[in-house]
A and B are shown apart, each in its own frame.
Chain A
Amino acid sequence: ETVMTQSPVTLSLSPGERATLSCRASQSVTDFLAWYRQRPGQTPRLLIYGASTRATGVPARFSGSGSGTEFTLTISSLQSEDVATYYCQQYYVWPLTFGGGTKVEIK
Protein backbone atom coordinates (compact mmCIF):
# COMPACT_ATOMS: atom_id res chain seq x y z
CA GLU A 1 0.00 0.00 0.00
CA THR A 2 1.21 3.51 -0.84
CA VAL A 3 1.15 5.50 2.38
CA MET A 4 0.45 9.23 2.03
CA THR A 5 1.85 11.43 4.80
CA GLN A 6 0.73 15.02 5.15
CA SER A 7 2.40 17.80 7.11
CA PRO A 8 1.86 19.78 9.15
CA VAL A 9 -1.15 18.30 10.91
CA THR A 10 -2.41 21.79 11.75
CA LEU A 11 -1.53 25.11 10.16
CA SER A 12 -2.56 28.39 11.76
CA LEU A 13 -2.04 31.55 9.70
CA SER A 14 -3.36 35.09 9.41
CA PRO A 15 -5.60 36.21 6.54
CA GLY A 16 -3.54 37.10 3.48
CA GLU A 17 -0.61 34.87 4.43
CA ARG A 18 0.74 32.13 2.20
CA ALA A 19 -0.12 28.56 3.20
CA THR A 20 2.13 25.68 2.18
CA LEU A 21 0.86 22.14 2.70
CA SER A 22 3.00 19.08 2.06
CA CYS A 23 2.20 15.53 1.02
CA ARG A 24 4.71 12.70 0.75
CA ALA A 25 4.10 9.31 -0.86
CA SER A 26 5.90 6.18 0.35
CA GLN A 27 6.60 5.29 -3.29
CA SER A 28 6.38 7.17 -6.56
CA VAL A 29 2.88 8.03 -7.76
CA THR A 30 4.25 10.05 -10.74
CA ASP A 31 1.74 12.94 -11.03
CA PHE A 32 -1.41 10.95 -10.18
CA LEU A 33 -2.00 13.12 -7.13
CA ALA A 34 -5.12 15.04 -6.12
CA TRP A 35 -5.89 17.58 -3.40
CA TYR A 36 -9.30 18.00 -1.77
CA ARG A 37 -10.74 20.60 0.59
CA GLN A 38 -13.30 19.63 3.20
CA ARG A 39 -14.86 22.49 5.09
CA PRO A 40 -16.38 21.70 8.50
CA GLY A 41 -19.62 19.78 8.06
CA GLN A 42 -19.30 19.69 4.27
CA THR A 43 -18.48 17.16 1.62
CA PRO A 44 -14.96 17.05 0.10
CA ARG A 45 -14.29 19.15 -2.99
CA LEU A 46 -11.64 18.42 -5.63
CA LEU A 47 -9.13 21.28 -5.88
CA ILE A 48 -6.15 19.93 -7.81
CA TYR A 49 -5.52 16.82 -9.90
CA GLY A 50 -2.57 15.63 -11.94
CA ALA A 51 -0.50 17.24 -9.15
CA SER A 52 -0.90 20.73 -10.62
CA THR A 53 -4.14 21.10 -12.62
CA ARG A 54 -6.85 23.18 -10.97
CA ALA A 55 -10.30 21.63 -11.08
CA THR A 56 -13.18 23.55 -12.63
CA GLY A 57 -14.10 26.67 -10.68
CA VAL A 58 -11.18 26.52 -8.24
CA PRO A 59 -9.75 29.98 -7.49
CA ALA A 60 -6.33 30.83 -8.85
CA ARG A 61 -4.89 31.29 -5.34
CA PHE A 62 -4.73 27.48 -5.12
CA SER A 63 -1.77 25.84 -6.85
CA GLY A 64 -0.21 22.42 -6.76
CA SER A 65 3.30 21.23 -7.53
CA GLY A 66 5.54 18.21 -7.28
CA SER A 67 5.94 14.76 -8.79
CA GLY A 68 7.11 11.34 -7.74
CA THR A 69 6.92 11.31 -3.95
CA GLU A 70 6.88 14.98 -2.87
CA PHE A 71 3.94 17.29 -3.44
CA THR A 72 2.84 20.74 -2.29
CA LEU A 73 -0.44 22.59 -2.18
CA THR A 74 -0.05 26.35 -1.92
CA ILE A 75 -2.72 28.87 -1.04
CA SER A 76 -1.17 32.16 -2.10
CA SER A 77 -3.29 34.44 0.10
CA LEU A 78 -5.31 32.76 2.83
CA GLN A 79 -8.96 33.76 3.12
CA SER A 80 -11.46 33.01 5.87
CA GLU A 81 -13.39 30.62 3.62
CA ASP A 82 -10.25 28.48 3.30
CA VAL A 83 -10.67 27.21 6.87
CA ALA A 84 -10.89 23.48 6.22
CA THR A 85 -9.06 20.19 6.29
CA TYR A 86 -7.08 19.45 3.15
CA TYR A 87 -6.39 15.91 1.95
CA CYS A 88 -4.05 14.57 -0.68
CA GLN A 89 -4.85 11.34 -2.51
CA GLN A 90 -2.93 9.15 -4.91
CA TYR A 91 -4.76 7.40 -7.72
CA TYR A 92 -1.72 5.77 -9.35
CA VAL A 93 -1.95 2.35 -7.75
CA TRP A 94 -4.47 0.19 -5.90
CA PRO A 95 -5.51 0.62 -3.20
CA LEU A 96 -6.33 4.28 -3.59
CA THR A 97 -5.00 6.07 -0.52
CA PHE A 98 -5.55 9.40 1.20
CA GLY A 99 -3.28 11.34 3.47
CA GLY A 100 -4.33 12.01 7.05
CA GLY A 101 -5.14 15.64 6.32
CA THR A 102 -3.88 19.11 7.23
CA LYS A 103 -6.24 21.32 9.17
CA VAL A 104 -5.94 25.00 8.20
CA GLU A 105 -7.03 27.56 10.78
CA ILE A 106 -7.18 31.34 10.75
CA LYS A 107 -5.36 33.16 13.58
Chain B
Amino acid sequence: EVQLVESGGGLVQPGGSLRLSCAPSGFILGNYAMGWVRQAPGKGLEWVSAIGGGGTTYYADSVRGRFTISRDTFKNMLYLKLNSLRAEDTALYFCAKRLYDYGGPFDHWGQGTQVTVSS
Protein backbone atom coordinates (compact mmCIF):
# COMPACT_ATOMS: atom_id res chain seq x y z
CA GLU B 1 0.00 0.00 0.00
CA VAL B 2 1.35 3.41 -0.97
CA GLN B 3 1.65 5.91 1.90
CA LEU B 4 3.22 9.34 2.15
CA VAL B 5 3.98 10.94 5.51
CA GLU B 6 5.05 14.58 5.68
CA SER B 7 6.84 16.28 8.55
CA GLY B 8 8.83 19.41 9.30
CA GLY B 9 6.15 22.07 9.24
CA GLY B 10 5.75 24.69 11.94
CA LEU B 11 5.56 28.35 12.85
CA VAL B 12 8.35 30.49 11.43
CA GLN B 13 8.98 34.22 11.19
CA PRO B 14 9.01 36.03 7.84
CA GLY B 15 12.38 35.54 6.22
CA GLY B 16 12.94 32.27 8.03
CA SER B 17 13.52 28.76 6.75
CA LEU B 18 12.09 25.26 7.13
CA ARG B 19 12.81 21.87 5.64
CA LEU B 20 9.83 19.67 4.91
CA SER B 21 10.29 15.92 4.65
CA CYS B 22 8.18 13.25 3.00
CA ALA B 23 8.60 9.58 3.85
CA PRO B 24 7.10 7.35 1.15
CA SER B 25 6.34 3.67 1.60
CA GLY B 26 4.97 1.01 -0.68
CA PHE B 27 7.04 2.09 -3.69
CA ILE B 28 10.59 3.06 -4.67
CA LEU B 29 10.95 6.85 -4.69
CA GLY B 30 13.45 6.96 -7.55
CA ASN B 31 11.05 5.15 -9.89
CA TYR B 32 8.42 7.89 -9.87
CA ALA B 33 8.08 11.62 -10.32
CA MET B 34 7.02 13.43 -7.14
CA GLY B 35 5.73 16.82 -6.21
CA TRP B 36 4.65 19.27 -3.53
CA VAL B 37 1.25 20.97 -3.61
CA ARG B 38 0.06 23.52 -1.06
CA GLN B 39 -3.31 24.75 0.11
CA ALA B 40 -3.69 28.06 1.91
CA PRO B 41 -6.44 28.21 4.57
CA GLY B 42 -9.85 28.10 2.87
CA LYS B 43 -8.28 28.22 -0.59
CA GLY B 44 -7.70 25.86 -3.50
CA LEU B 45 -4.77 23.71 -4.50
CA GLU B 46 -1.54 25.29 -5.76
CA TRP B 47 1.32 23.31 -7.29
CA VAL B 48 4.68 24.28 -5.76
CA SER B 49 7.45 22.03 -7.05
CA ALA B 50 8.15 18.71 -8.74
CA ILE B 51 11.03 16.34 -9.38
CA GLY B 52 11.11 13.85 -12.22
CA GLY B 53 12.20 10.26 -12.00
CA GLY B 54 15.51 11.29 -13.58
CA GLY B 55 15.99 14.06 -11.00
CA THR B 56 15.03 17.12 -13.06
CA THR B 57 13.40 19.77 -10.87
CA TYR B 58 10.60 22.24 -11.56
CA TYR B 59 9.19 25.18 -9.60
CA ALA B 60 6.22 27.52 -9.58
CA ASP B 61 7.23 31.12 -10.29
CA SER B 62 6.04 32.14 -6.82
CA VAL B 63 8.69 29.98 -5.11
CA ARG B 64 11.53 29.73 -7.65
CA GLY B 65 14.79 30.86 -6.09
CA ARG B 66 13.44 30.42 -2.56
CA PHE B 67 12.38 26.75 -2.39
CA THR B 68 14.47 23.69 -3.30
CA ILE B 69 13.13 20.20 -3.91
CA SER B 70 15.44 17.24 -3.45
CA ARG B 71 15.39 13.52 -2.76
CA ASP B 72 17.60 10.93 -1.15
CA THR B 73 17.04 7.67 -2.99
CA PHE B 74 19.14 5.72 -0.48
CA LYS B 75 16.98 6.89 2.42
CA ASN B 76 13.87 6.91 0.20
CA MET B 77 13.03 10.45 1.32
CA LEU B 78 11.73 13.56 -0.45
CA TYR B 79 12.45 17.06 0.81
CA LEU B 80 11.39 20.64 0.25
CA LYS B 81 13.67 23.36 1.65
CA LEU B 82 11.81 26.63 2.17
CA ASN B 83 13.90 29.80 2.44
CA SER B 84 13.00 33.48 2.65
CA LEU B 85 9.52 32.59 3.80
CA ARG B 86 6.68 35.09 3.38
CA ALA B 87 3.24 35.35 4.95
CA GLU B 88 1.72 34.19 1.66
CA ASP B 89 3.59 30.87 1.97
CA THR B 90 1.34 29.96 4.89
CA ALA B 91 -0.42 26.77 3.84
CA LEU B 92 -0.83 23.05 4.30
CA TYR B 93 1.91 21.42 2.21
CA PHE B 94 1.13 18.07 0.62
CA CYS B 95 3.68 15.61 -0.69
CA ALA B 96 2.27 13.73 -3.68
CA LYS B 97 3.38 10.89 -5.92
CA ARG B 98 2.90 11.15 -9.66
CA LEU B 99 1.58 8.25 -11.70
CA TYR B 100 4.66 7.78 -13.89
CA ASP B 101 8.41 8.32 -13.69
CA TYR B 102 8.10 11.14 -16.24
CA GLY B 103 5.04 12.80 -14.74
CA GLY B 104 1.29 12.33 -14.93
CA PRO B 105 -1.35 13.21 -12.37
CA PHE B 106 -0.84 13.00 -8.60
CA ASP B 107 -2.19 9.55 -7.74
CA HIS B 108 -1.34 9.45 -4.04
CA TRP B 109 -1.22 12.26 -1.49
CA GLY B 110 0.04 12.60 2.07
CA GLN B 111 -1.95 14.16 4.87
CA GLY B 112 0.05 17.37 4.71
CA THR B 113 2.24 19.39 7.07
CA GLN B 114 1.24 22.91 8.15
CA VAL B 115 3.55 25.84 7.53
CA THR B 116 2.65 29.13 9.20
CA VAL B 117 4.69 32.24 8.50
CA SER B 118 4.00 34.96 11.04
CA SER B 119 5.81 37.34 13.34
Residues of A within 8 A of B (CB): 1, 34, 36, 38, 43-46, 49, 55, 85, 87, 89, 91, 94-101
Interface size on B, residues (CB 8 A): 23
Q: Which residues of A contact B105 (CB under 8 A)?
A: 34, 46, 49, 89, 91
Tally of contacts, chain A with chain B, CB under 8 A: 55
Contact B107 A55 (CB under 8 A): yes
Q: Which residues of B contact A85 (CB under 8 A)?
A: 44
In the bound complex, CA of A106 to CA of B43 (Å): 21
Q: Which residues of A contact B35 (CB under 8 A)?
A: 96
In the bound complex, CA of A75 to CA of B71 (Å): 38
In the bound complex, CA of A101 to CA of B40 (Å): 14
Q: A1-B61, A44-B106 are in contact. List 10 more A-B contacts (CB 8 A).
A: A36-B45, A43-B110, A46-B105, A49-B99, A49-B104, A89-B45, A91-B104, A97-B47, A98-B44, A99-B44
